[in-house]
């Protein structure tokens, strides 16, 4: 009886708090409140346990969500494994920084036992990224749910992803084509406050002549990192596992790791945004969470446009 009363109160609270509906696509905050009421708790507990063991996983989960949404929309296509007849998105060089596939598998397995065929892999990715941000000290926010999983994942589709060699004007343009403002783009770039970059993605800045937009001492740091080879890792800022505004402060010191990072401080349109976030972490957090919700709605699939995969790694 006590459990029944608890569940009734829980559902009522979810309905009150989760009444938001995204008018463009019908996703809702409380999409699983009746069909799989403990879906959110399962995701949260699994991510919490995983990050307790390996805090570096947070960066991989945030990257996963971005890389999933940018290609074919937020439809879990980044999770699909390649087959002998198809090279999937995972094969892209740009997706080598994505981690957490085993965690998504774990969540999916638990959810299939609780409520089979209900919770999509796309929603699991979006919720896992949200939890990773919050558990790393970042903003706490919610996202509407109800995405369906896509049936396509091809490595050639990833060619449209923003490259680490893009300048600020190119970034503003490509993000603008997807409906994001310059502010959205800079805020989302702040996700680089978590994690590392491989030498392969920034070694071009060290060629003769060395990128003049980079601090000379920092260029020596990057050169030392790259002495370990293309896969050697460099943290984006001094707190790789903490979600904070140190990334933007690094840009002010001309210590952005990627060209596409430092360029944000060299362009008059984006420089003022960077300076604002470097001074005001709360402002960055607010804009980041709003941009993340916006990104989570990119080209979502509903109804017959997609499916709910039984196994996130393969199409039903």
Place of tokens 């990627």: 258
Question: Is 77 annotated among the ligand-binding residues?
Answer: yes
Question: Is 302 annotated among the ligand-binding residues?
Answer: no
Give every CB contact of residue 205 below 8 A, 6+ residues apart in sequence. 211, 214, 219, 222, 259
Contact 218, 202 (CB under 8 A): no
Question: If phi over 0 gives left and psi between -120 and 50 gives alpha, with beta otherwise, what is residue 209?
Answer: beta
Question: Is 221 annotated among the ligand-binding residues?
Answer: no
Active-site residue 65, yes or no?
no
Question: Is 192 annotated among the ligand-binding residues?
Answer: yes
Cα–Cα distance for residue pair 49/106, rounded to 1 Å: 12
Question: Is 73 annotated among the ligand-binding residues?
Answer: yes
Question: Is 157 annotated among the ligand-binding residues?
Answer: no
Question: Is 162 annotated among the ligand-binding residues?
Answer: yes
Longest Cα–Cα distance of the chain, Å, equals 73
Cα–Cα distance for residue pair 11/285, rounded to 1 Å: 29
- Catalytic residue chosen out of the listed positions 44, 65, 67, 198: 67
Contact 257, 194 (CB under 8 A): no
E strands, the chain, in order:
196-198, 233-235
DSSP summary character for residue 77: G
Q: What are the residues facing 197 on neighbouring strands? A: 234
Question: Is 208 annotated among the ligand-binding residues?
Answer: no
Question: Is 287 annotated among the ligand-binding residues?
Answer: no
Cα–Cα distance for residue pair 267/183, rounded to 1 Å: 13
Peptide bond into 169 cis (omega under 30): no
Tokens for 188? 């989302």
Binding residues for Ca(2+): 68, 73, 75, 77, 89, 193, 237, 239, 244
Point out the residues that are catalytic.
67
Binding residues for substrate: 162
Binding-site sequence positions: 68, 73, 75, 77, 89, 162, 192-193, 237, 239, 244
Show binding-site residues for heme b: 192
């Amino acid at each position: 009886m006590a459990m029944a009363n608890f569940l009734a109160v829980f559902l009522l609270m979810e309905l009150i708090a989760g009444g938001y509906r995204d008018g463009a696509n019908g996703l809702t905050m409380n999409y699983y409140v009746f069909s799989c009421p403990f879906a959110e708790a399962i995701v949260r507990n699994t991510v919490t346990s995983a990050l307790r063991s390996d805090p570096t996983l947070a960066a991989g989960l945030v990257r996963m969500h971005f890389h999933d949404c940018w290609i074919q929309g937020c439809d879990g296509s980044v999770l699909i494994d390649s087959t002998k007849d198809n090279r999937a998105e995972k094969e892209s060089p740009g997706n080598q920084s994505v981690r957490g596939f085993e965690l998504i598998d774990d969540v999916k397995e638990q959810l299939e036992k609780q409520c089979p065929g209900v919770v999509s892999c796309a929603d699991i990715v979006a919720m896992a990224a949200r939890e990773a941000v919050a558990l790393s000290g970042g903003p706490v926010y919610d996202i509407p749910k109800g995405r369906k999983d896509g049936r396509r994942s091809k490595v050639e589709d990833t060619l449209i992803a923003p490259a680490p060699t893009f300048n600020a004007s190119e970034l503003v343009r490509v993000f603008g084509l997807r409906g994001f403002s310059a502010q959205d783009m800079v805020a989302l770039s702040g996700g680089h406050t978590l994690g590392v970059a491989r030498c392969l993605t920034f070694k071009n800045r060290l060629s003769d002549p060395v990128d003049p937009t980079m601090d000379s001492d920092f260029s020596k740091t990057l050169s030392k990192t790259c002495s370990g080879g293309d896969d050697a890792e460099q943290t984006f800022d001094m707190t790789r596992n903490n979600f904070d505004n140190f990334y933007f402060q690094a840009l002010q010191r001309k210590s952005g790791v990627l060209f596409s990072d430092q360029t944000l401080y060299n362009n008059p349109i984006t420089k003022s945004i960077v300076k604002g976030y470097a001074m005001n972490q709360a402002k960055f957090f607010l804009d980041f969470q709003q941009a993340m919700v916006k990104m989570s709605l990119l080209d979502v699939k509903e109804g017959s446009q997609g499916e709910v995969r039984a196994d996130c790694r393969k199409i039903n």
